[in-house]
Structures are given as C-alpha cells and as structure tokens.
Amino acid sequence: MYRAAGFPCRWAMLHRAVAALLSLLWFCSEAPAAYYSMEGVVAEVVDGDTVYLSDGTAVRYLGINTPEVRKKVHRKWVYDPKPYALEAARHNREWVEGKTVRLEVNDAAPRDRYGRLLAYVFVGSLFVNERLLEAGLGRTYLLPPHTRYNAELKRAQAKAKAARLGIWSASKP
C-alpha cells in the first residue's frame, strides 16, 4: 500500500469505509421474522381479540386492540363493556367460534406476558384481525417484532376511519 505523508492511499481509505458501512448495515438489519402456522378449533370467544382453543390455549390476536368487555377491579374481572366491545365480540364469535382456525405465530416472540399465544388468525381466506379493523371494531396495535401484516392492518383501519365505521363513528352504540 502506498502512503503519502503518513496517510494510506485513497483506495485503502475507501475500502475501509465501505467495509465499515457494510458491517454496520449487517449488524443493524433485522433478519425477517420466522413465522410458523398451526391450526386449532376455537372453543370460546372471550372478546374481540382473544379466544380459547379446544386444547385450552389462550390466543391474543396480533396487530389489533378491540374495546374491552370487562375490567379488573380488586383482582376480580367485572363485566363493564366499553363502546363497541360487544359488537367486536359478536363479530369475532360469528367468524371463529367452533371453527378450525389457522394461526400464524412469530417464532421470535410467540407469547405475551400473560402466556397467551400471539397470532394472526385466519378462517379459510378470511383474515380475522384485518376484518375486525375494517368493520371499525378495533384499533391497530403494532409492536415489533410482529410486523408481517402491518401494511394490511393499517389500510383496514384507514378504510374504517374514512367510512366512519364503529369506533370511528360519531355515535356510541
């Protein structure tokens, strides 16, 4: 390598800069999340975004948060439905209860802090998470590393907002 006045030549500096940049990009980039699919039969619908499978597994829908049907008061659950909570639960029940669902689960973070399986839920070609948002029965709740369907879920919410459906309407049920 040729040196002029104690400095490496321009090519060597450029080579080092490119190598440093590539290393930085490699370390900062996330590998695509690995998802796996599983099936189960929905035994019970808890609310708009939570169900129990026939094997007892609790499943929390990814990318969506629907109004709550109940709240915790002094360590007990109390029935106290928020606006549109019953509608979200009713639609969810119509679409999934007693049916075989396909769950897409992120291998990097399959459960939440309560032990519920986190999943995108499908019945045939119906993407339940997206359909609830399209009906205006929830808000997007997008948390990394669960990003597979973020674009679809954002579009569904925007569609419901524009049409003033459900929680986006001026009136309460």
- The catalytically annotated residue of 10, 39, 44, 60 is 60
Give 74-126 as a DSSP string.
Answer: TTEEEE-PPTTHHHHHHHHHHHHTTSEEEEEEETTS-B-TT-PEEEEEEETTE
Q: Is residue 60 annotated as part of the catalytic site, yes or no?
A: yes
Rounded to whole angstroms, the Cα distance separating 118 from 149 reads 13
- The catalytically annotated residue of 87, 104, 116, 130 is 116
- The catalytically annotated residue of 68, 70, 102, 152 is 68
Rounded to whole angstroms, the Cα distance separating 153 from 157 reads 6
Q: Is residue 116 annotated as part of the catalytic site, yes or no?
A: yes
Residue 110, phi then psi, degrees to nearest 5: -75, -20
Q: Is residue 164 annotated as part of the catalytic site, yes or no?
A: no
Which is it for the CA torsion 139, 141, 146, 148, positive or negative?
positive
Active site residues: 60, 68, 116
